[in-house]
Amino acid sequence: MSLFIFMFSETNFYAKLPGKINALSGSCVQIPCTFDAPKNTLKDTENIFGCWMKKNHAFLSQDSLVVFNGTSNIIKGFNYIEILGNLSQLECTTVFYDVMNNHTDNYYFRVEIIRVNWMYTYTSPIYLSVSDVPELPVLTPTDLQEVMEEGTVNLSCSAEAPCPKQSPTISWSYIPESAHITRKLQEKPDKTQSVFSYMTFKASYKDHRKNISCTATYPRNTSDVSSAETTMMLRVLFSPKETRIIIDPSDSVSVGTNVTLTCKSEASPNEINYTWYKRGQEKELDFGEQLTFNVNRRSGGWYFCTAKNMHGNQTSEEIQLIVAGEINLDVPLLYSGSTETPCIIFLFQSQEKHVQVNSVYGNSAFVMAEELETPKDENDMIHYGEIDFSTLQTKSTTEKISGEETIYAEVCGSGKN
């Protein structure tokens, strides 16, 4: 923090300087400065010179060091010092280049007007503090409260710019999709300067618990740069999102197997109430994050869940539980054929058990339906059978075989009564 120091001599002349300024080693520092002087002394504008002294304002004191003498253009202890201000306008802003740690001290301004022989050292010093580490940037608000989803967030990051000629750059570690960023170099009341970066965005649930850092990077007259970082966490309130079901085991299950369905959702706050449903049933199945049951023949079907918190709710997509060997009623019944020979095709999903086989006699010859071989995975293949009853006489017989229960049959008629 900088503050003004007004020091008056017995004749009420003063220099206006920041009380303290922090600088980064290997960089420059700009000291804002204005001063007062008798009006009649400013007529000869070509003969006004400025000086800077270190440690003591007494010009001839043994412990006082004149680091810059504008009258003789002598610089001591610094690589270069430049007065930017127009002294005839009472402006004495000065830049010290390549400051180092040993430059930390009090500095006093002195003005010399040669022709009228008016020389004056102002007793109001500036304290220059040089460090190898830059100051941390200021991120505001420092403690961002929770924001609602779609609410507007305004963040500001500022970094001291002790040398505007080598001002820092500000970068953000996390930039939301809707973010708009602006940058400005602003002057503070004590005439020192800071770089400001403003980021505005609409909060999304994807931004929740994201660390947002602003980093100030300073150029230096060395082989490396220096940076400082300030971080805060963003907290967003939102209704359940990405609601989904995880089934374990994930493959088709057999009767008697224990199955667990887990409903997952992202929400803030994360106090979530879960409800379970099954397609075709109006009443809720259960409540809670998990639904566990022992599989029977009626367990197959489509399941879904809802997640709810104080800000809203969301329903998951349906997930199908397949019971190995069950009849899949989702397979359609097909009708084909012409009006003379209509055909009806029945499609069923296979399951293993002993079945009855219907035999057909045609032209006094016995015809037995062939036993169909299926792979071990009963869901991988569909079998079709076609019988033309217009040319056959039927007789029923029964034989127990170990095979597939499901028969895919096409029943055709001649269309005759």
**Residue closest to 122 by CA, chosen among 9, 213, 249, 282:** 9
Q: What's the CA gap between 77 and 105, in Å, rounded? A: 12
Q: Which residues pair with 305 in a beta bridge?
A: 276
Output phi, psi for 218, to 5 deg: -110, 130
Task: Find the mean pLDDT for residues 176-180.
Answer: 92
Q: Where do we find the tokens 């770089």?
A: 195
Domains of the chain: 4-131 (2.60.40.10), 138-234 (2.60.40.10), 239-321 (2.60.40.10), 334-412 (no CATH)
Give 71 or 276, the one with higher predicted confidence: 276
List the beta strands (DSSP E) in 93-151: 94-97, 105-113, 118-121, 126-131, 138-140, 147-148
Cβ atoms of 97 and 32 within 8 Å: the answer is no
The two three-digit tokens of residue 417, written as one number: 């009564």
Output the pLDDT for position 44.
Answer: 66
Q: What are phi and psi of 168, to 5 degrees?
A: -75, 160
Please, which pLDDT band fits residue 212 given cuts at 50, 70 and 90? very high
- What is the average per-residue pLDDT within 42-49? 77
* Predicted confidence (pLDDT) at residue 342 exceeds the cutoff of 60: no
The chain-wide mean pLDDT, for the chain, equals 79
CB atoms within 10 A of CB 350: 22
Report the pLDDT averaged over residues 295-314.
95
Computed from CA positions of residues 286, 288, 289, 291, in that sequence, does the dihedral angle turn out positive or negative? negative
* Average pLDDT of the residues in 203-227: 90
